[in-house]
C-alpha cells in the first residue's frame, strides 16, 4: 500500500485503495462497489476506495471482538508503547498526511501542515501521557472498583478534519484497551488509509484496529446497529447524529458530537477584538471545524459597528486553491456541501437577511470547484431558518439583541448545546453569563482550548463530547467487587 501514497496534490489522476484493513491484513471487499474521492478544488476524481457492505462490517466486528480479550489485558505500559510508536510514525509522515488531507478536503496546504497533520500526532501523544502511572483498580467503601475496556468501538467520522477526529476516538479506545472498527468519511477516507498503514507497520496486534470505508446508509448503518458493537462515536451533522441514535442498538453506549456555536458579545466587551477573533474562527478552515462560530450576537446599539468590523475582517480572507500560499480559505470539503451552503445563503436573503459581503455565487476567478465566498449576513433574526441550522462553510451571521436576557434566549434557542463563546469587559462578567447558558463548553474572552478539558454537549449536540483528548473513562466500564 505504501507505494500508492500521495507525494503532492495531483491535478488529475487516480490513487487506488482497493482493499479493506481487517484482522491485521489487507483483504478484498465482499462487494464490487467503489467510492470516488473527488478533489474539491478541481472536481476531478482523486482516488477510489472500496464501498464496504454489511458483510464486510460483520467480518471487521468479528475481528475486533476476537482481538478484545488479549488487547484488554495488556498493561498500560504496553499500550503506551504502541501509542508512542504511532506518535513517532505520524510525525514521520506529517508531510504526506498534510498533502493527502489538503487534496481530499480542500484545506489550504499550510493550514493542513499546521493543523491537520500536527493535531493527530499531538492527540495520540496526549493519550500516551494519560497512561503514565494509570491504574485500573481502586478501593471505595468496601468495594474493589475495576475499570475495564468498554468493548468494540465503532468510530464514524466526518470529512472536515478527518484524521484529527479519527485520532481522538481511535487513540482513546486503544489507550483504554478497547478495539475499533473505523468507517471514515466517504468524502475524505484517504488519510484513514495512512493511519491503517502506520498501525500495521508498528505491529499493532491483529484485529485491534479495523478499517471499513463505505457509505453511511450501507456500511454506517450496519456498523452502528451491529450487536457486537458496544460504543458508537460519531462527529458530524445533527441529521446524521439523529439517524445514528435511532439505528444504534438500545444498549449501545453512544457519543454523538455535532456542531454549533454562538458567540455573545456583552456590553463593555472589546468589540473589535471579539469580532476579529470570531471572524478568524469562522473563516479559517472554510468553516469546516465543528466549533466554528456561525452566529455573532451583539448589543443592538453597536450592531452597525459590529457589521462593519466583520465585513472588513472577512474581506481580508483570500479564497484560492489549496496549494497557493496566498490562500486563506480553500474550497469546502465536497461539492454537495458547497451546494448546501449556497442554497442556505439564497434562502437567507429571500427571508430578509442582508448580504454584507460574499454571497452564494462562485468567486469570479474560481468557477470550478467547491468554493464559497466568505460571507457576512446581517439583519438576521432568530425566526429565520439560517439562524437555526448550521451552515457548513465560511459564513457569519450578525444578530442584534436588546438586553442580556434576550441574548441568552437567542443563544440557547439557535445554538445546539455543543459550545459557545462569551466576550465581556471582565472575566467575572463573562463567567456569570456563561454559567446561565445551556451549553457544554464556553470559551471565555477568546481563551484557548485545553486538550484534556471535558467537552460534553447538551440538547441536540449529542450525548457526549469530543474534546481534543477524551477521558479514558469514556472508553471504559466501571465495575465493583463488594466484599
pTM of the model: 0.86
Q: For 404-462, what is each residue's pLDDT tens digit?
A: 999 999 998 866 556 789 999 999 999 999 999 988 788 999 876 544 454 444 444 44
Q: How far apart are CA 88 and CA 84, in angstroms?
A: 6
Instruction: Reduce the DSSP state of residue 89 to 3 states and report it.
Output: helix
**Could you please report the per-residue DSSP string of 406-461?**
HHHHHHHHHS-SSEEEEE-SSHHHHHHHHTTS--SEEEETTPPP-TTS-----GGG
- State how far the Cα of 154 lies from the Cα of 273, in Å rounded to an integer: 41
Q: Give the C-alpha distances (Å, rounded to integers) separating 390 from 134, 177, 239, 262, 387.
A: 39, 35, 11, 11, 8
Mean pLDDT in residue range 73-98: 96
User: d(Cα 143, Cα 361) in Å, to the nearest integer?
Assistant: 64
The residues near 176 (Cβ < 8 Å, ≥ 6 apart) are: 149, 150, 472, 474, 475, 476
Q: Smallest Cα–Cα separation from 320: which of 115, 108, 112, 111?
A: 108
pLDDT at residue 5 in the model: 38
Q: Which residue has the cell 455535532?
A: 258
In three-state secondary structure terms, 259 is coil
Whole-number pLDDT of residue 418: 63
Q: What is the mean pLDDT of residues 261-284?
A: 94
The 3-class secondary structure across 26-86, one letter per residue, is EECCCCCCEEEEECCCCCCEEEEEECCCHHHHHHHHHHHHHHHHHHHCCCHHHHHHHHHHH
Contact 35, 192 (CB under 8 A): no
Measured from the Cβ of residue 336, the count of other Cβ atoms closer than 10 Å reads 14
pLDDT at residue number 24: 96
Domains of the chain: 2-259+463-482 (3.40.605.10), 261-415+419-450 (3.40.309.10)
428-437 pLDDT, tens digit each: 999 999 999 9
Residue with cell 467547491: 370
Q: Quote the cell numbers at residue 371.
A: 468554493
pLDDT of 260 strictly over 60: no
Which of 45-54, 99-108, 154-163 is the least confident region? 154-163
Say how far apart CA 72 and CA 69 lie, in whole Å: 5
pLDDT for residue 316: 96
Q: Average the pLDDT over each of 300-314, 317-331, 441-455 and give the range with the smallest value.
A: 441-455
Amino acid at each position: 500500500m505504501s507505494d500508492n501514497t500521495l507525494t503532492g496534490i495531483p491535478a488529475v489522476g487516480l490513487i487506488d485503495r482497493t482493499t479493506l484493513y481487517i484482522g491485521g491484513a489487507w483483504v478484498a471487499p465482499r462487494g464490487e462497489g467503489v467510492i470516488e474521492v473527488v478533489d474539491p478544488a478541481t472536481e476531478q476524481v482523486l482516488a477510489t476506495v472500496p464501498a464496504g457492505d454489511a458483510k464486510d462490517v460483520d467480518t471487521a466486528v468479528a475481528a475486533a471482538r476476537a482481538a478484545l480479550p488479549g488487547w484488554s489485558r495488556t498493561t498500560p505500559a504496553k499500550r503506551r508503547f504502541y501509542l508512542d510508536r504511532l506518535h513517532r510514525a505520524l510525525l514521520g509522515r506529517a508531510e504526506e498526511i498534510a498533502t493527502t488531507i489538503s487534496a481530499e478536503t480542500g484545506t489550504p496546504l499550510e493550514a493542513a501542515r499546521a493543523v491537520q497533520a500536527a493535531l493527530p500526532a499531538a492527540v495520540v501523544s496526549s493519550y500516551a501521557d494519560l497512561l503514565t502511572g494509570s491504574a485500573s483498580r481502586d478501593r471505595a467503601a468496601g468495594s474493589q472498583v475495576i475499570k475495564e475496556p468498554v468493548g468494540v468501538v465503532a468510530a464514524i467520522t466526518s470529512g472536515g478534519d478527518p484524521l484529527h477526529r479519527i485520532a481522538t476516538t481511535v487513540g482513546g479506545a486503544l489507550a483504554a484497551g478497547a478495539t475499533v472498527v473505523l468507517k471514515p468519511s466517504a468524502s475524505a477516507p484517504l488519510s484513514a488509509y495512512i493511519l491503517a498503514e502506520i498501525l500495521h507497520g508498528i505491529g499493532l496486534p491483529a484485529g485491534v484496529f479495523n478499517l471499513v470505508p463505505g457509505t453511511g446508509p450501507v456500511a454506517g448503518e450496519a456498523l452502528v446497529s451491529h450487536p457486537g458493537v458496544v460504543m458508537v462515536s460519531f462527529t458530524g451533522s445533527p441529521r446524521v447524529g439523529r439517524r445514528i441514535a435511532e439505528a444504534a442498538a438500545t444498549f449501545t453506549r453512544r457519543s454523538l458530537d455535532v456542531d454549533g456555536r454562538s458567540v455573545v458579545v456583552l456590553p463593555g466587551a472589546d468589540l473589535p477584538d471579539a469580532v476579529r477573533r470570531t471572524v478568524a474562527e469562522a473563516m479559517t478552515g472554510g468553516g469546516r471545524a465543528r466549533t466554528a462560530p456561525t452566529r455573532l450576537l451583539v448589543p443592538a446599539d453597536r450592531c452597525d459597528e459590529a457589521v462593519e468590523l466583520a465585513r472588513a475582517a472577512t474581506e481580508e480572507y483570500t479564497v484560492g486553491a489549496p496549494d497557493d500560499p496566498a490562500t486563506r480559505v480553500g474550497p469546502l470539503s465536497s461539492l454537495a456541501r458547497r451546494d448546501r451552503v449556497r442554497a442556505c445563503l439564497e434562502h437567507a436573503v429571500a427571508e430578509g437577511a442582508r448580504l454584507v459581503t460574499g454571497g452564494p455565487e462562485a468567486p469570479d476567478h474560481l468557477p470550478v470547484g467547491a468554493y464559497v465566498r466568505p460571507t457576512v449576513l446581517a439583519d438576521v433574526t432568530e425566526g429565520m431558518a439560517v439562524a437555526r441550522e448550521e451552515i457548513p462553510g465560511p459564513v457569519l451571521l450578525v444578530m442584534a439583541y436588546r438586553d442580556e436576557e434576550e441574548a441568552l434566549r437567542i443563544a440557547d434557542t439557535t445554538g445546539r448545546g455543543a459550545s459557545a463563546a462569551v466576550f465581556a469587559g471582565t472575566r467575572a462578567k463573562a463567567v456569570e453569563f456563561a454559567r446561565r447558558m445551556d451549553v457544554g463548553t464556553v470559551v471565555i474572552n477568546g481563551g484557548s482550548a485545553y486538550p484534556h478539558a471535558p467537552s460534553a454537549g447538551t440538547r441536540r449536540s449529542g450525548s457526549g463530547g469530543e474534546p481534543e483528548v477524551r477521558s479514558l473513562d469514556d472508553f471504559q466500564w466501571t465495575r465493583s467487587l463488594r466484599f
